[in-house]
Homo-oligomer: A and B are copies of this chain.
Amino acid sequence: MHIRSVSRKFAILVVIWAFAALLLGTAAQAQAQDPLPSWNDGSAKQAILDFVQATTDKASPKFVPPEARIATFDQDGTLWVSHPMYTQVVYCLERVPAVVKAKPALAKVEPFKTVLSGNREAMAKLSMKDLEKILVATLTGMTVDEFRAEVKKWLTTAKDPRWHRPYTDLTYLPMIELMQYLRANGYKTFIVTGGGQDFVRVYADKVYGIPPEQVVGTAGDTKYGYDKRGKPILTKEPKLLLNDDKAGKPEGIHLIIGRRPQAAFGNSGGDRQMLEYTGAGDGARLMMLVLHDDSKREYAYGPAEGLPNTKVGTFNQALYDEAKKKGWVIISMKNDWKKIFA
CB distance from A219 to the nearest CB of B (A): 6
Whether the Cβ atoms of B212 and A259 lie closer than 8 Å is: yes
User: Which residue of the partner chain, among B144, B197, B258, contacts A212 with CB atoms under 8 Å?
Assistant: B258
Q: A211-B67, A221-B251 are in contact. Are A232 and B276 (CB under 8 A)?
A: yes
User: Which residue of the partner chain, among B223, B242, B254, contacts A144 with CB atoms under 8 Å?
Assistant: B254
Whether the Cβ atoms of B224 and A257 lie closer than 8 Å is: no
CB distance from A229 to the nearest CB of B (A): 10
Tally of this chain's copies = 2
Whether the Cβ atoms of B254 and A256 lie closer than 8 Å is: no
CB distance from A206 to the nearest CB of B (A): 11
CB distance from A49 to the nearest CB of B (A): 26
Whether the Cβ atoms of B273 and A250 lie closer than 8 Å is: no
CB distance from A72 to the nearest CB of B (A): 11
| A interface residues, tally (CB under 8 Å) | 37
- Measured CB to CB, the nearest residue on chain B to A248 is B224
A126: Cβ under 8 A from any B Cβ: no
A205: Cβ under 8 A from any B Cβ: yes
- Give the one of A205, A215, A247, A248 with max B CB within 10 A: A247
Chain B residues with Cβ below 8 Å from A70 are 213
A224–B249 Cα distance when bound, in Å, is: 9
Whether the Cβ atoms of B254 and A222 lie closer than 8 Å is: yes
Chain B residues with Cβ below 8 Å from A18 are none
Whether the Cβ atoms of A213 and B256 lie closer than 8 Å is: yes
A231: Cβ under 8 A from any B Cβ: yes
A53-69 Cβ-contact flags toward B at 8 Å (1 or 0) = 00000000000000100
A124: Cβ under 8 A from any B Cβ: no
A205–B258 Cα distance when bound, in Å, is: 12
Chain B residues with Cβ below 8 Å from A248 are 224
A90: Cβ under 8 A from any B Cβ: no
Whether the Cβ atoms of B213 and A259 lie closer than 8 Å is: yes
Q: A251-B234, A256-B256 are in contact. Are A277 and B224 (CB under 8 A)?
A: yes
A11–B138 Cα distance when bound, in Å, is: 79
A255: Cβ under 8 A from any B Cβ: yes
A110–B138 Cα distance when bound, in Å, is: 48
Chain B residues with Cβ below 8 Å from A259 are 212-213
Whether the Cβ atoms of B215 and A280 lie closer than 8 Å is: no
A292: Cβ under 8 A from any B Cβ: no
Q: A234-B250, A273-B224, A276-B232 are in contact. Are A67 and B205 (CB under 8 A)?
A: yes
Whether the Cβ atoms of B247 and A224 lie closer than 8 Å is: yes
Whether the Cβ atoms of A197 and B273 lie closer than 8 Å is: no
A residues with a Cβ closer than 8 A to B are: 67, 70, 144, 188, 197-198, 201, 205, 211-215, 219, 221-224, 231-232, 234, 241-242, 247-248, 250-251, 254-259, 273, 276-277, 280
Q: List 24 A-B contacts (CB under 8 A).
A: A188-B213, A197-B258, A212-B258, A212-B259, A213-B256, A213-B257, A213-B259, A215-B258, A219-B255, A222-B254, A222-B255, A223-B247, A224-B250, A224-B273, A224-B277, A231-B280, A232-B250, A232-B273, A232-B276, A232-B277, A234-B250, A234-B277, A241-B242, A256-B256
Beyond A67-B205, A198-B258, A224-B273, 7 extra complex contacts between A and B, CB < 8 Å: A67-B211, A213-B256, A213-B257, A213-B258, A223-B251, A231-B280, A241-B241
